[in-house]
Structure 1
Amino acid sequence: MKKFFTVIGGMGSLATESYVHLLNEKTPTKKDQDYLDYILVNHSTVPDRTAHILDHSKPSFLPPLAEDIKQQSLLKPEFMVIICNTAHYYYKELQAVTDIPIIHMPHMAISVMKKKYPQAKRIGLIATKGTIADHVYENEIKDAGFEYSLGDQAVQDEVESLIYDDIKVKGEVDAPKFHKILKTMHDKFNCDVIVLGCTELSLAQEKAPDHPYKVIDGQEVIVDKSIEFGEKIRRGEKIDFDKIY
């Protein structure tokens, strides 16, 4: 296979399944051959990202992801995407092991947000404790010139419960809990736009989109960009990955 891209997923598998579903659903198709060519690596045994970020004595997710990227680089994909926001904690180290461009999901998400909602004043961020602790999204939001809010401990507890108790453990989305979190960020913390900084939250958005709040979903952004870039490489167009943001 030529002119394809690689998806590094499995963190978690339901979130990766959501990415693939959206990718196939949103790709313009009339026949089988219109779908995009890609390789999916569903590496579900990668150590917990949040646990390692909060306590570096816990197993690191860097070595297995670096090995995945090295293996995939031998196949020469045109680009790669990592379907886990928290894993971007080691983005620089992962990009350093390959010449293949790895699309930076948080950076891409905030770049799209800035273009879509230029009048927004205050941005809410909901994510795992690991993503909050690694400041990847926080720094992107600040660099884009926005005020931001992380909510409070009660919000964080609800977010963690939705991600871990409901989605990762039970395999289901608690729609009322998700909507309550968004409402709290909007009403109590005055957030114009809420960034979903975890792919499990992306799954929640896919399954429970019936709410009035403005959100930026990093996974949906990377789906759109995967389609855009995938179709370009199929047509033989060159992509300047240094200027895509």
Structure 2
Amino acid sequence: MLGGMGPAATLDFLAKLQGIANAVCDQDHCPVMTISASGTPDRTAAILGQGESPLPAMQEAMAALERAGVSHVAIPCNTAHYWFDALQAGTELRLIHIVEAAMEQLVLRFGGVATVGLIATTGAVHSGVYHQRLEADGRRVLTPPDQVAVMGVIEKIKAGRMTEALPVLVQQVRALREAGVEAIILGCTELPLCLPHLPVELQPLIVDATEALARASLQTLAEANAAFSSGR
């Protein structure tokens, strides 16, 4: 796993990977090699032209994973997927796309809903990593009314100030529900850390991209192992 963007989101992904595995003993879990590349430059700043590109740092981390002998890589940072194609082009490893994983869970749980809410970093919103995929399916995408507040929520979670972040996130989720969304993707891997604390009536609306990535990772590894065992 290429993690560290941010560290708490990395731990959340690992917990979800463990929690949803159909395992009864240690040996049933998939082996995971994790690099926490927390020094990677800010992704949103780079997308907005306000900071250096994180691509070289991510490529360096990918090379370390490749040397360690991994076969597949998950990146629990939605905004980093702006550079997904460049990362994939530079490695023989198979990268698992968090947006595709979230889309799979959206369809599985909500079918053909027409209007989807997206709560994500300004970089992810600006880059269109979710908008392009959702709109290609004919879905309307709404973002919260106060994107500055959303960034404040993310920054507070990164700083460990969850109690300050939660009420603001609840306000943004309620605003999207009142605007008519039928499902909401938490498209920043910090945001699902608040999910257990959201009001129970809001939780059924949520697609957790971190959990979706964990499910896609396990499914991808299962398919790869099955193919290897069959000699293909």
**TM-score of the two chains, using structure 2 as the length reference:** 0.90
Retained in 1: the 8 A contact 2:154–2:190? yes
Matching residue of 1:143: 136
Matched, 1:92 2:85: yes
Which stretches of structure 1, 4 residues or more, deviate above 4 A after TM superposition?
Answer: none
Matching residue of 1:111: 104
Aligned length: 226
* Alignment counterpart, residue 221 of structure 1, candidates 209, 212, 215: 212
Find the residue that maps to 2:80 and give its secondary structure.
Answer: helix
Displacement of 1:192: 0.6
* Alignment counterpart, residue 14 of structure 1, candidates 4, 8, 12: 8
Query: 2:95, 2:28 → 1: CA distance?
Result: 24
Matching residue of 2:188: 198
Matching residue of 1:176: 167
Q: Percent identity?
A: 28
RMSD, matched Cα: 1.9
The CA deviation string for residues 65-93 of structure 1, in whole angstroms up to 9 with x for no partner, is 01111221233322111110000111110
Matched, 1:186 2:177: yes
Query: 1:225, 1:89 → 2: CA distance?
Result: 19
Displacement of 1:211: 3.6
Query: 1:232, 1:14 → 2: CA distance?
Result: 29
Displacement of 1:148: 1.4
* Alignment counterpart, residue 77 of structure 1, candidates 51, 54, 70: 70
Find the residue that maps to 1:123 and give its secondary structure.
Answer: strand
Equivalent residues in 2 for 1:29-44 (5 A)?
29-44=23-38
Q: Is there any run of 5+ residues in structure 1 with no aligned partner, and where? A: 1-6, 240-245
Q: Give the counterpart letter for 2:153 in structure 1.
A: L
Query: 2:173, 2:139 → 1: CA distance?
Result: 18
Displacement of 1:143: 1.0
* Alignment counterpart, residue 54 of structure 1, candidates 48, 53, 71: 48
